[in-house]
């Protein structure tokens, strides 16, 4: 319905122009430009006076005929078969315009509208121009050259090149080729060689339509590679070379031939799609200024190393920034290495002490059991001990070296167990089997006078007046 309404408005406009020309006594030729693959109206009007005959020709080729109040297709050329229509309901009002559907390149040319009534004949000429709009421009870039191309365009557009920073014209010499398909549409490809000192430049390629109504501009920059240590925030720059009103932004990631769209943004809806939620984000304030830089919070060496492509698309414009990013494994600082060495040293020491305790503990248990067994055995044999503490003290003195060694071992693991022998009684003495512990008593005889004039007892004493037992080991 909307299409029919627009066609009716166009007919009224064209009819009005033609009637104005007729009132002045001359009929200028009409110039019409139609979009290929779209429908197009070739205007023609006359003064209705009863029955009318209408013939449309392209040069001498019959396009469409109308007489006896109906369409006649007997003489119609095959090229126009099924594609031409008159507005029959408007013919009585003087409208003989032709609707040409699905315009082709071959439809281009000069058409004649012939009308005949009882008051005479009339001829109106219409020059039809056709064009295929530039739909897109694709830019590809390598280390040695950059190529711009566009497909299905008509007529051939003009191609221009520029760089940022600016370059001399002799550095922008390019080769442009055009290829025509079976429909008459062109594929245009222009190639520019990159000079060695221009590898980091921004390259601009513009396709300008023949009627100057369209100017498509694509720019691309291969930025220097970025190397960053994993775990540290990283900003990948992407700034539009010119201000954009309504634009869309996309970030893609390529690694090991895998292509991933990680982010999309539309300035008209302010809607943002982020696949890497929590890992990547944009600065919303800078976006409105044309800065679409991507912020990676904690990049990982395996997941985030690859090629990042930023694409800013506006009305008949596109800006592409390609950046290779290498995320390296985090290095260990000197302080961290010292801490790690200290930790391992402490752990090794603790393990050694624990191992020593594990070896000594069974021996201590056996020693305690043997000492208790010896004590019970000698007590059971009927030996009389005047002072059992004296006997234990003698045994402890005989084995003091071994007890001290064990005590040092227990002190070494003080931090682990919290138990350290406090006295000699905490140590267990290993008394070999068959050892006799006896306390000799000698008959007290008359005092013997020594050299110093003092009397000496025949009993052995320990220096404190206590009788010291003797230990006999067979």
pLDDT digits (tens, 9 = 90+) for 313-364: 999 999 999 999 999 987 655 455 565 566 666 777 777 777 777 777 777 6
Model confidence over 247-305: pLDDT tens digits?
A: 999 999 998 878 999 999 998 888 999 999 989 999 988 888 889 999 999 998 888 99
Handedness of CA 81, 86, 88, 89 (dihedral sign): positive
- Give the number of other CB atoms < 10 A from CB of residue 8: 13
Residue 350 resides in a domain: no
Q: Give mean pLDDT, residues 390-409.
A: 44
Residue 295 resides in a domain: yes
Least confident range of 4-13, 98-107, 179-188, 309-318: 4-13
What's the confidence (pLDDT) of residue 446? 47
Residue 255 and residue 168 share a domain = no
Residue 266 resides in a domain: yes
- Helix pair angle (388-398, 400-412), 10° resolution: 80
Model confidence over 140-168: pLDDT tens digits?
A: 998 889 999 999 999 999 999 999 999 88
Q: Are 239 and 306 in contact (CB under 8 A)?
A: no
What's the confidence (pLDDT) of residue 351? 74
Model confidence over 168-220: pLDDT tens digits?
A: 888 888 999 999 999 999 999 999 998 888 888 999 999 999 999 999 999 99
Residue 142 and residue 97 share a domain = no
Higher pLDDT, 136 or 447: 136
Q: Give mean pLDDT, residues 407-411.
A: 47
Residue 386 and residue 461 share a domain = yes
Q: What is the band of 427 on the pLDDT scale with cuts at 50, 70, 90?
A: very low
Residue 359 resides in a domain: no
Asked whether the predicted pLDDT for residue 124 surpasses 70, the reply is yes
Residue 76 and residue 36 share a domain = yes
Residue 362 resides in a domain: no
Q: Can you give the CATH number for the domain in which 238 is found?
A: 2.60.40.10
- Cα–Cα dist 428/404, whole Å: 11
What's the confidence (pLDDT) of residue 378? 47
Domain that holds residue 246: 223-328
Mean pLDDT of the chain: 77
What's the confidence (pLDDT) of residue 335? 56
Residue 356 resides in a domain: no
Asked whether the predicted pLDDT for residue 367 surpasses 80, the reply is no
Residue 115 and residue 40 share a domain = yes
Residue after which a domain boundary falls, among 221, 248, 267: 221
* 224: Cα separation from own chain's centroid: 17
Asked whether the predicted pLDDT for residue 30 surpasses 60, the reply is yes
Residue 380 and residue 299 share a domain = no
Residue 309 and residue 235 share a domain = yes
Residue 142 and residue 111 share a domain = no
Burial of 129 (0-12, 13-18, 19+ CB in 10 A): middle
Residue 54 and residue 151 share a domain = no
Residue 302 and residue 421 share a domain = no
Number of domains forming the structure of the chain: 4
Residue after which a domain boundary falls, among 221, 249, 280: 221
Residue 227 and residue 216 share a domain = no
- End-to-end, the C-alpha distance of the chain in Å comes to 129
Residue after which a domain boundary falls, among 328, 350, 366: 328
Residue 352 resides in a domain: no
Residue 288 and residue 261 share a domain = yes
What's the confidence (pLDDT) of residue 226? 93
- Cα–Cα dist 105/111, whole Å: 15
- Cα–Cα dist 233/216, whole Å: 36
**Strands 280-281 and 294-296, how do they pair?**
antiparallel
Residue 339 resides in a domain: no
Higher pLDDT, 77 or 351: 77
Q: Give mean pLDDT, residues 418-422.
A: 46
């Amino acid at each position: 319905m909307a299409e029919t309404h627009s066609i009716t408005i166009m007919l009224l406009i064209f009819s009005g122009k033609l009637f104005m020309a007729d009132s002045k006594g001359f009929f200028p030729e009409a110039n019409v430009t139609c979009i290929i693959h779209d429908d197009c109206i070739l205007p023609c009007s006359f003064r209705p006076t009863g029955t009318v005959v209408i013939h449309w020709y392209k040069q001498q080729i019959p396009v469409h005929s109308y007489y006896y109040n109906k369409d006649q297709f007997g003489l119609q050329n095959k090229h126009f078969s099924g594609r031409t229509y008159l507005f029959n309901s408007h013919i009585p009002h003087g409208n003989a315009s032709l609707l040409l559907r699905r315009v082709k390149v071959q439809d281009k040319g000069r058409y004649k509208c012939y009308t005949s009534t009882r008051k005479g004949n009339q001829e109106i000429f219409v020059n039809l121009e056709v064009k295929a709009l530039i739909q897109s421009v694709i830019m590809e870039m390598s280390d040695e050259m950059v190529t711009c191309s566009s497909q299905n365009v008509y007529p051939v557009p003009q191609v221009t090149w520029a760089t940022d920073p600016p370059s001399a014209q002799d550095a922008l010499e390019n080769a442009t080729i055009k290829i025509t398909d079976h429909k008459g549409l062109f594929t245009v490809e222009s190639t520019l060689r990159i000079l060695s000192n221009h590898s980091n430049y921004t390259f601009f390629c513009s396709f300008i339509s023949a009627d100057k109504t369209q100017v498509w501009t694509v720019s691309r920059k291969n930025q220097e590679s970025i190397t960053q240590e994993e775990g540290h925030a990283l900003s990948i720059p992407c700034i539009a070379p010119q201000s954009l009103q309504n634009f869309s932004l996309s970030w893609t990631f390529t690694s090991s031939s895998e292509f991933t769209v990680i982010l999309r943004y539309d300035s008209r809806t302010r809607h943002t799609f982020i696949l890497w939620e929590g890992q990547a984000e944009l600065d919303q304030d800078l976006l409105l200024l044309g800065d679409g830089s991507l912020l990676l919070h904690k990049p990982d060496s395996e997941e985030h190393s690859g090629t990042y492509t930023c694409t800013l698309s506006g009305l008949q414009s596109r800006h592409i920034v390609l950046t290779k990013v290498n995320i390296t494994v985090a290095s260990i600082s000197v302080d961290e290495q010292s801490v790690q060495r200290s930790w391992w040293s402490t752990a090794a020491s603790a393990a050694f002490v624990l191992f020593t305790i594990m070896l000594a503990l069974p021996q201590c248990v056996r020693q305690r059991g043997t000492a208790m067994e010896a004590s019970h055995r000698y007590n059971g044999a009927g030996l009389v001990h005047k002072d059992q503490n004296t006997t234990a003290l003698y045994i402890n003195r005989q084995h003091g070296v071994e007890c001290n060694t064990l005590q040092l071992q227990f002190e070494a693991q003080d931090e682990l167990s919290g138990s350290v022998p406090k006295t000699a009684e905490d140590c267990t003495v290993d008394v070999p089997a068959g050892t006799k512990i006896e306390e000799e008593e000698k008959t007290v005889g008359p005092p013997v006078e020594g050299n110093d004039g003092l009397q000496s007892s025949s009993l052995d004493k320990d220096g404190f007046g206590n009788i010291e037992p003797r230990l006999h080991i067979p």
